[in-house]
Every structure is written in structure tokens, then in C-alpha cells.
Amino acid sequence: MLTLRAMRGLQRVPATFLPTLAMPIFQAVAFAGTYFAITKIPNFPTDRSINWFISLSGCMGGAFSGLGLGFAAIRDIENGFMDRLRMAPTPRAALLLGPLLSALARTFIVLSTVLVVGYFFGARPTQGLAGIAMFYLAGFGLAIVATGWGLGIAYRFRDMRGAALMQLTLFLVMFTSSAQAPMSMMQGWLLQVARVNPMTNILRLSRQGFLNPPVGGVSWENTWGGLLAIAVLGSLTICFAYRGLRKLER
């Protein structure tokens, strides 16, 4: 029912969802166009620049969908609706599950739209349905992580100050990974950060279906790191959100 409520909110005020949908599409098309020459690098794993950037857009879409639920939680706190939810004899976990399912539904819409628009602009999966499944898996994973992070911040800040922090951390994590260029092209501190940044593994998970082997191609080697990153970050951020929800009582 809470998921349904969130989806109704999208339908009634589509403007709140528009940036989540438009930004990843714009990013995929703009980056692919601006950096089209990236494919000229020797041994670059695809000859289509949009095949490289579409995964970044998918991950960004999943993350924005999750953060959107953080923004919605801030609105609920500010207009008092969160109090109504907290006064209900519902398990506290259900108050997190509703937004989480809603984030996954939003992510599905964003990823599907990115795929369709990406195809129109020349993106071609190289690994069939298995590759597309990995693209969705990474997007859904990031949606879970971002929902936990967004809700946790919302429950602690309780006003729109939290929104800026949510977005800032997302961009920092996203762009200090292999988001824009392969690791082989990076140097200095950025390379060191990208190596340990879990986002690099999630992007690798997402990109398997759009890049050529040996870098691309659906394999356990390209999958496990991303799954582990999602599992660890997802667990941590959901715990962060749960503790934040409890903090509202203190």
C-alpha cells in the first residue's frame, strides 16, 4: 500500500520524477556524443561510445530513483505524515520495505526507458538477455543502496538540508569510479580511489552485457565484485535507514 501510494504520487506530480528519468537519458546521449572518440583508444572494449556510457546512466537512474524516496521521506517528515506512519502498529521494517519496493518500481521504469532511448541512439547489447539482466541487476542494486542512504539521511536531518548531502555523496562516489573512463586510462589518486570504490565493481557488473570480451561478456569474474558491493553497501545503508527511523523516537 505504501508502494502504491508512492507510485500514485509519481502519477499525480510527474515533475518530481522527471529529473530522475531525464538525467540518465541526457547523460547517456550527451556523454556518448561528446566522448565518441573514446572508442579509438587501443583495445577499448566496444566500438560504440554509447555502449560504454549507457551503464553509467542505468546506475545513475537506479541511484536517483532511490534518493527520490529519501526526498519523499523528508516531505513526509515535514508535513507530519511520517508521524502517522510511525504511529501505526506496523513493523518498522515495513516502513522501509514500502519505499524500497517503490524505488525498484521507479528504477524499472528508468532502466527500461534508458535502454529504449539508448537503442535509438545506437546502443547494442553484446551478450543478449543475460547481459541486459546484469544491466537491470546493477540498477536495482544501486536503487536499494541509494534508498537506504536517502532514508537514513532523511531520518537524521529531517529537512531539505539532507537532500543536498544525498546528492553530493552520490556524485562523489559515482565519478571517482570507472564511470567515465576505463581503469587503464586513469592515473594518480583517481586510479587509487577508483580501485577501491565499490561503484567500479557495480559498473563492471552492469557493463558486461554491452562490452566485448575479455573486458565485457557475462562471467562470474565480472559479476561477483558488483554483487558483493551491492550486498555490503545495501546491508549497511538499510541498517543506517533502520537506525535512523528508530532515532526519530529519541
Hey, what's the torsion of the CAs at 15, 31, 193, 186, to 10 degrees?
180
Positive or negative CA dihedral for 49, 66, 220, 184?
Answer: positive
Of 135, 149, 174, give the one whose Cα is nearest residue 69. 149
Q: Considering only 7-15, 63-71, 128-136, 194-202, which stretch makes contact with other proteins by CB under 8 A? A: 7-15
The smaller minimum CB distance to other proteins, of residues 16 and 212, is found at 16
Least Å distance between CB 86 and other proteins? 6
The smaller minimum CB distance to other proteins, of residues 5 and 156, is found at 5
The smaller minimum CB distance to other proteins, of residues 161 and 246, is found at 246
Least Å distance between CB 153 and other proteins? 20
The smaller minimum CB distance to other proteins, of residues 90 and 169, is found at 90
Least Å distance between CB 61 and other proteins? 23
159 sits near other proteins (criterion: CB under 8 A): no
Q: Considering only 73-81, 138-146, 192-200, 225-233, which stretch makes contact with other proteins by CB under 8 A? A: 73-81
Distance in angstroms (rounded) separating the CA atoms of residues 215 and 186: 16
The smaller minimum CB distance to other proteins, of residues 157 and 210, is found at 157
CA 215 and chain centroid, separation = 22
Q: Considering only 21-29, 48-56, 75-83, 226-234, which stretch makes contact with other proteins by CB under 8 A? A: 75-83
Residues 92, 245 contacting (CB under 8 angstroms) = yes
Residues in contact with 14: Cβ distance below 8 Å, sequence separation at least 6, in sequence order: none
Of 149, 114, 97, give the one whose Cα is nearest residue 32. 114
3-state helix, strand, coil in the chain (%, to 5): 80, 0, 20
Distance in angstroms (rounded) separating the CA atoms of residues 200 and 225: 9
CA 187 and chain centroid, separation = 26
Residues 13-42 that bind other proteins (CB under 8 A): 13
Total binding residues toward other proteins, as defined by CB under 8 A: 23
Least Å distance between CB 101 and other proteins? 14
Contact string (CB under 8 A) for other proteins, positions 80-109, x = contact: xxxxxxxxxxx-------------------
Q: Considering only 24-32, 53-61, 177-185, 242-250, which stretch makes contact with other proteins by CB under 8 A? A: 242-250
Distance in angstroms (rounded) separating the CA atoms of residues 56 and 138: 10
Residues of this chain that interact with other proteins (CB under 8 A) are 1-2, 5, 8-9, 12-13, 76, 79-90, 248-250
